[in-house]
């Protein structure tokens, strides 16, 4: 069931004229993805893998739609080349709404492994990230999306277990 | 017929069209044969040509021709199911299937052996999948543009490259002039 926080995320996407959304599911993202699918002004095209999703987003941007990708932090192990040689090389804006698995509150031990690398990979790629650990921080999302679009860069929103579990 | 000769025959068909072209030799050969603002050259990121082209087709109404290769499609095979399940009738995927990784020294791909990309595309839900000989590709592409239906063309050609220069355009220039060509009103 989508929460009020999920709805606030959707409202921020719409407020920043995002029209194209691709996603790879995560349990924590299920509410947001359900709302994306239901929202008429958002074209939702689920992808099979996140690098494919970045290709779709690049194309959509060239076609005049502001894109957003929704994915899990494990995906950062997949998309380094796409971020460097497509999104960054061609100066495409790409907000990445990321469920930050493997932080305290995590129940699956394996998720901790990629959590250890998440910020390191983003730092290595010079991608700014914003770590959300409580629902009130969602009020920063709109300005982060605007920042990605203004600077034509990828940005990461890392929303951890505490953020999703206390969302109302 | 090798890829370069195939692309040479496509030149009159590609003129004025939005073209997303695969990394390496395909983009370099197209650049040598027909440079136009409505060509998006991939300078890196093997495998994403079909996905970029499809995202573009979904986002706007003009016809989009993605020129991909068999090796690159194998790298990102699952995107065929995205294409097969989200119809965009302005999207044409042209897979130049020479059974080899042309840009890296013509190492064989599995598409040149037992794997049929046309059958994979069909199994992924893509409609209007045609496999053609290299010499029939221009006709197949013309028909696909005229039909205005999502089409996948697998063009079987021989392995081999010609010596053409690398693309020296700045990626931001490629993207900017391409986006401007996308926005240009249709004159026909």
pLDDT single digits (tens) B62-98 = 999 999 999 999 999 999 999 999 999 999 999 999 9
Residues in chain B with CB shorter than 8 Å from the CB of A62 are: 40, 52, 55-56, 59, 175, 178-179, 182
What is the percent of chain A where pLDDT is above 90? 96
Decide if pLDDT at A140 tops 70.
yes
The reply to whether A114 touches chain B by the CB within 8 Å rule is no
Residues forming beta bridges with residue A132, ordered by sequence position: A159
CATH superfamily membership of B3-183: Thiamin diphosphate (ThDP)-binding fold, Pyr/PP domains (3.40.50.970)
- Is residue A132 within 8 A of residue A159, CB to CB? The reply is yes
Tell me what the mean pLDDT of segment A67-86 comes to.
Answer: 98
| Per-residue pLDDT, A168 | 85
Tell me what the mean pLDDT of segment A96-115 comes to.
Answer: 94
State how far the Cα of B142 lies from the Cα of B103, in Å rounded to an integer: 27
Q: Which residue of chain A has the CA closest to B86?
A: A45
Decide if pLDDT at B188 tops 90.
no
| Per-residue pLDDT, B186 | 80
| Separation in Å, CA of B54 to nearest CA in chain A | 7
| Per-residue pLDDT, B110 | 96
Decide if pLDDT at A109 tops 90.
yes
What is the percent of chain A where pLDDT is above 70? 100
Residues in chain A with CB shorter than 8 Å from the CB of B37 are: none
Residue with tokens 């050259």: B41
Decide if pLDDT at B168 tops 70.
yes
Average pLDDT value over all residues in chain A: 97
* ipTM of the predicted assembly exceeds 0.90: yes
Tell me what the mean pLDDT of segment B169-186 comes to.
Answer: 96
Residues in chain B with CB shorter than 8 Å from the CB of A52 are: 48, 51, 76, 78-79, 82
Decide if pLDDT at B101 tops 90.
yes
Tell me what the mean pLDDT of segment A46-67 comes to.
Answer: 98
Decide if pLDDT at B187 tops 80.
no
| Per-residue pLDDT, A1 | 87
Residue with tokens 């839900």: B125
State how far the Cα of B39 lies from the Cα of B175, in Å rounded to an integer: 9
- pLDDT range class, residue A121, cuts 50, 70, 90: very high
- Is residue A132 within 8 A of residue A65, CB to CB? The reply is no
B50–A91 CB contact, under 8 Å: no
Residue bearing the bigger pLDDT, B28 or B103: B28
Report the candidate in B66, B8, B122 with the shortest Cα–Cα distance to residue A63: B66
> b vs e for A102-113, b when ≥16 Cβ sit within 10 Å of the residue's Cβ?
bbeeeeeeebee
User: Hey, what are A158's tokens?
Assistant: 């890392």
> b vs e for A26-44, b when ≥16 Cβ sit within 10 Å of the residue's Cβ?
bebbebbbebbeebeebbb
What H or E segment, with its residue span, contains residue B132?
strand B129-133
- Is residue B120 within 8 A of residue B129, CB to CB? The reply is no
| Per-residue pLDDT, B135 | 97
- pLDDT range class, residue B128, cuts 50, 70, 90: very high
> b vs e for A134-148, b when ≥16 Cβ sit within 10 Å of the residue's Cβ?
ebebbeebbebbbbb
What domains lie within chain A, and their CATH numbers? Answer: 4-165 (3.40.50.970)
DSSP state at residue B131: E
pLDDT single digits (tens) B136-161 = 999 999 999 999 999 999 999 999 99
pLDDT single digits (tens) A2-22 = 999 999 999 999 999 999 999
- Is residue A47 within 8 A of residue A53, CB to CB? The reply is yes
Residues in chain B with CB shorter than 8 Å from the CB of A87 are: none
Q: Which residue of chain A has the CA closest to B75?
A: A52
Q: Which residue of chain A has the CA closest to B78?
A: A48
User: Hey, what are B67's tokens?
Assistant: 């020129």
| Separation in Å, CA of B51 to nearest CA in chain A | 5
Tell me what the mean pLDDT of segment A110-123 comes to.
Answer: 97
Residues forming beta bridges with residue B69, ordered by sequence position: B96
pLDDT single digits (tens) B44-53 = 999 999 999 9
Q: Where are the alpha helices (DSSP H) in A48-108?
A: 50-62, 80-82
Hey, of A90, A151, A152, A153, which one would you mutate to test binding to chain B, going by the most B CBs within 10 A of its CB? A90
Hey, of B48, B83, B167, B171, which one would you mutate to test binding to chain A, going by the most A CBs within 10 A of its CB? B48
Decide if pLDDT at A89 tops 60.
yes
What H or E segment, with its residue span, contains residue B5?
helix B3-14
Tell me what the mean pLDDT of segment A129-133 comes to.
Answer: 98
Strands (DSSP E) along chain A, which ranges?
18-23, 43-44, 66-72, 94-100, 129-132, 154-160
Residue B82's Cβ-count burial label (10 Å; 0-12, 13-18, 19+) is: buried
3-state SS, residue A39: coil
State how far the Cα of A62 lies from the Cα of B175, in Å rounded to an integer: 7
Q: Which of residues 36-65 of A touch B (CB under 8 A)?
A: 43, 45-49, 51-65
């Amino acid at each position: 069931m989508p929460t009020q926080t999920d709805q606030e995320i959707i409202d921020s996407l719409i407020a920043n004229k995002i029209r194209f959304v691709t996603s790879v599911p995560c349990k924590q993202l299920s509410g947001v993805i359900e709302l994306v699918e239901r929202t008429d002004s958002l074209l939702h095209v689920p992808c099979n893998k996140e690098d494919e999703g970045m290709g779709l987003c690049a194309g959509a941007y060239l076609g005049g739609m502001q894109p957003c990708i929704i994915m899990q932090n494990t995906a950062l192990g997949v998309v380094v080349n796409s971020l460097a040689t497509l999104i960054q090389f061609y100066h495409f804006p790409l907000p990445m709404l990321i469920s930050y698995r493997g932080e305290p509150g995590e129940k699956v031990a394996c998720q901790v492994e990629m959590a250890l690398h998440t910020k390191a990979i983003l730092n290595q790629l010079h991608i700014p990230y914003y770590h959300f650990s409580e629902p009130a921080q969602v009020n920063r999302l709109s300005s982060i999306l605007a920042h990605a679009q203004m600077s034509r860069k990828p940005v990461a929103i890392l929303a951890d277990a505490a953020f999703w579990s206390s969302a109302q | 017929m090798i890829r370069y000769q195939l692309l040479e025959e496509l030149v009159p068909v590609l003129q004025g069209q939005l073209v997303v072209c695969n990394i390496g030799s395909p983009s370099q050969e197209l650049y040598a044969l027909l440079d136009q603002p409505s060509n998006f050259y991939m300078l890196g990121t093997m495998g994403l040509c079909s996905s970029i082209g499809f995202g573009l087709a979904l986002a706007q109404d003009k016809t989009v021709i993605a020129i991909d290769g068999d090796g690159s499609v194998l790298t990102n095979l699952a995107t065929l199911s995205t294409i097969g399940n989200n119809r965009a009738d302005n999207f044409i995927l042209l897979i130049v299937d020479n059974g080899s990784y042309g840009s890296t020294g013509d190492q064989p791909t599995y598409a040149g052996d037992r794997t049929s990309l046309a059958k994979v595309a069909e199994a992924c839900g893509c409609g209007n999948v045609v496999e053609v000989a290299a010499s029939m590709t221009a006709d197949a592409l013309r028909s696909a543009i005229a039909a205005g239906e999502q089409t996948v063309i697998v063009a079987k050609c021989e392995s081999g490259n010609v010596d053409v220069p690398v693309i020296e355009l700045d990626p931001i220039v490629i993207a900017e002039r391409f986006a401007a060509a996308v926005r240009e009103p249709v004159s026909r």
